[in-house]
Copies of this chain bind each other. A is one copy, B any other.
Amino acid sequence: MAEVIDRRALRTRKALHSALMSLILRKGYEATTIQDIIDEADVGRSTFYGHYTGKEDLLRNGFQILRRELTDAQRAARAGTDGAQDEPLGFSRAMFEHAAGYADVYLAMVGGRGGVVAISELRKVLSEFVRKELPAARDDGAVSRELVVQFVVGTLLTVLTWWLERRPGLTPSQADAMFRRLALNGAGASIRTRSRVG
């Protein structure tokens, strides 16, 4: 887990990660067996266990890569626009863009195919970002800060899922607009049309 230098080890790890990805896309995480992974990656059984303790370990490890990529995308976006987006929830845009690039992977994670692990890990990563984005949201007595964070993350995932599953035609910025609207203003405007039949 510490400093990996040897090329052979790197090769092996990459092979295992991409094998797991292919398999998740093909048959889902739960249904994927370690046997499948090492077959797909052409790696010896003992080699696998030399690197990871099991498939969950392998998957969790993969999310560190995602975290890094997202952080970079974040920085790049911020630099590109001269730091002009201090808007609330300014980070979401870069996220939707990133998701557009890896639509198949995100779709697998966000649909059921990544198992509980993927969802909870994704939530964890997103929570970090959102928490950074809401540095001083006042904890008005009504709704606690942590609940707001969870709410924003939940909305992000809802829009993301809906986008990838049912409206893949939309652009990232369109999806982002819907996210912002829901997260900031809620669904009140779309709901208050109840027939108040006296």
Q: A194: which B residues are within 8 A, CB to CB?
A: 86-88, 136
Q: A178: which B residues are within 8 A, CB to CB?
A: 142-143, 147
Q: A151: which B residues are within 8 A, CB to CB?
A: 155, 158-159, 182, 187
Q: Does A188 contact B (CB under 8 A)?
A: yes
Assess whether A181 is in contact with B143, with CB atoms less than 8 Å apart: yes
Secondary structure call for the A interface: helix
Q: A154: which B residues are within 8 A, CB to CB?
A: 154-155, 157-158
Assess whether A146 is in contact with B120, with CB atoms less than 8 Å apart: no
Q: A161: which B residues are within 8 A, CB to CB?
A: 150
Assess whether A183 is in contact with B186, with CB atoms less than 8 Å apart: yes
Give a binary string over A162-188; 1 marks a CB under 8 Å from any B CB, 0 the rest.
100011000000000110011111111
Q: Does A3 contact B (CB under 8 A)?
A: no
- Cross-interface CB contact of A196 among B86, B152, B166, B167, cutoff 8 Å: B86
Assess whether A188 is in contact with B191, with CB atoms less than 8 Å apart: no
Cα A134 to Cα B30 in complex, Å, equals 35
Q: A143: which B residues are within 8 A, CB to CB?
A: 178, 181-182, 187, 190
Given contacts A30-B116, A194-B86, contact A187 B184 (CB under 8 A): yes
Instruction: Name the residue in A116, A157, A193 with the highest tally of chain B Cβ atoms < 10 Å from its Cβ.
Output: A116
Given contacts A112-B116, A116-B112, A166-B146, contact A137 B193 (CB under 8 A): yes
Give chain B nearest CB distance to A23 CB in angstroms.
16
Interface residues of A (CB under 8 A from B): 30, 86-89, 112, 115-116, 119-120, 134-138, 140, 142-148, 150-155, 157-159, 161-162, 166-167, 177-178, 181-197
Q: List 28 A-B contacts (CB under 8 A).
A: A30-B116, A86-B196, A86-B197, A87-B194, A88-B191, A88-B192, A88-B194, A89-B191, A115-B115, A115-B116, A116-B119, A135-B195, A142-B177, A142-B181, A143-B181, A143-B182, A143-B187, A144-B167, A147-B162, A148-B190, A150-B161, A151-B187, A152-B187, A153-B158, A154-B155, A183-B187, A185-B185, A185-B186
